[in-house]
Amino acid sequence: MASVTESMAALSSPSSSRFGTSVSRPSMMISSPAVSLSIRRNLPVSKGLKIQSSSKLSFASSNWRYSRVSKHKCCIVCEAQETACDIPSVTDKTWQSLVLKADEPVLVEFWAPWCGPCRMIHPVIGELAQQYAGKLKCFKLNTDDSPSIATQYGIRSIPTIMIFVNGEKKDAVIGAVPKTTLCASIEKFL
C-alpha cells in the first residue's frame, strides 16, 4: 500500500511530469485502503434480497426503509430452498442395508455441515436424485456422525461422491463439480 500512496504522491507533485509540464495536485490524497475503495464508483449495484411478506413478494431496493413491504411483517427468503431436495441420510447402522445390499446403483455424498462446497452441491445431488429416480438411489453420509465409514473408504476431502454397484465402490468424484461431470460418471454404471 505504501508504494501506491508513494506513486500517487509522486504523480501529484509538479516536478514529476514526464513532459516537463506541471501536473495539478489532486483534490484528495489517498491515505488508506478504505479511502481508495470509496473512490471507485463503477462497482455493480445489488438489487437486494427477495423479501417475502404475508401478502406478496417483492425485491428490497436500496431505499428499503421506505418500501411498502417493510411496514408488514416479512422475512428474507432463500430461493435455493425452493429447489433443494431432501436427500435421505445413511449412517453406520443403515450403511449395510441401504448401500451395500442395494439392488440398483447407489450414489453417496460424503459431507459435513460446516463444509461450504458440500452445501453448494446438495441441490445438484437433489436434482440427480429426481432425474435418475428408479435407476439410482442417492444418499448422503455426514462424515462427522459416521467417521468409521469415511475412514473405511479413505475419504480425505469433502464433498466426495461415490457410486456403488452391487455393494462395490465403482467410482469417486472429489469436490464440488458441475452436474455434467456427475451425470457422466453415473451414466457409466446404468
Q: Which residues pair with 164 in a beta bridge?
A: 106, 169
Rounded Cα distance, 75 and 142, in Å: 30
Helix (H) or strand (E) holding 151: helix 147-152
pTM of the model: 0.57
78 is a catalytic site residue: no
What is the DSSP code (8-state) at residue 40?
-
Q: Is there a catalytic annotation at residue 75?
A: no
The domains of the chain are located at 2-39, 50-77, 82-187
Question: Residues 74, 78, 85, 115: which is the catalytic one?
Answer: 115
The residue assigned the cell 456403488 is 164
Give residue-wise pLDDT tens across range 35-60. 444 445 555 555 555 555 444 444 44
Q: What is the DSSP pairing of strand 137-142 with strand 57-59?
A: unpaired
82-187 fold: Glutaredoxin (3.40.30)
* Contact between 136 and 108 (Cβ < 8 Å): no
Question: pLDDT for 94-141, tens place per residue?
Answer: 999 999 999 999 999 999 999 999 999 999 999 999 999 999 999 999
